Amino acid sequence: MRDVEAELKSLVAARAAARNGPFLIGIAGGVAAGKSTLAKTLAETLEASDPELPVEIVATDGFLKPNAALEAAGLGMKKGFPETYDSEALHRFLDDLAAGRKAETPVYSHVTYDIVPGDRRAVEGAGVVIVEGINVLQTPQARSRFGLSLYVDADPSHAKAWYLARLHGIIADDPNSFFARLDPVQRDAMFEAAWTHLNLVNLVDHIAPTMAYADVVVRKGADHALIGLVRQMSH
């Protein structure tokens, strides 16, 4: 039986080992598809294969515009759509890393559901930087900076279940979080509406089409296991 995870790890390790300078890996996919989990798995693989190799993981959530700016622009109900990101800032960030320069990203909190004011994270332009987010492959400028790009593909019904589980996990872990303070009935209705009218629409209209730009498409099953891998490395 094909070991998809082992095959992917081997591919990523080989590409990273052959790098010449900073090596950027992009991981795209829908909301709750498992991008951050895959990023962690690949980072651990790279660190184990070369303990001297610097490996960083960056989520593009930090490049979302603050909630106040989204509301002012009438985009409060489209959070996550391409126009709600500061794409120019993301491009500068990737350009700096690719050139071997230190770069900074704003910090996003899933607890407050907003950018953390004044908080910045510095990332060295060295070794391997894994950049994960729903918008990773949406612009030619971003795509051009990745030495390897992956797309995590999951059945939308599975992703919805993972999305709801993640939100309820945040509530359980932090009773003072943004969502925990809402009335439970109102909250559950909000979650359903967010998935149906926001996340699913964004997936179909903006995220899934970027699968065509990925070097490798990784398919996930209902139990989060990797069940398929398709190489499209002709870009």
- CATH class held by domain 4-230: alpha beta
Give me the residues paired with residue 132 across strands. Answer: 27, 59
Q: pLDDT tier at 1 (50, 70, 90 boundaries)?
A: very low
Q: What is the pLDDT of residues 150-172, one digit of tens each?
A: 999 999 999 999 999 998 898 98
Between strands 103-109 and 114-123, the pairing is: antiparallel
- Please give the C-alpha separations between residue 16 and each of 27, 46, 66, in angstroms, as whole numbers: 15, 8, 34
- The pTM (predicted TM-score) of the whole model is 0.94
**Strands lying side by side in the sheet with 128-132:** 55-59, 128-132, 23-29, 148-154, 216-220, 226-231
Contact present, 128 and 46 (Cβ < 8 Å): yes
Q: Give the residue extent of every domain in the chain.
A: 4-230
The whole-angstrom separation of Cα 151 and Cα 223 is 18
pLDDT at 174 over 50: yes
Q: What is the pLDDT of residues 60-69, one digit of tens each?
A: 999 999 999 9
pLDDT of residue 234: 55
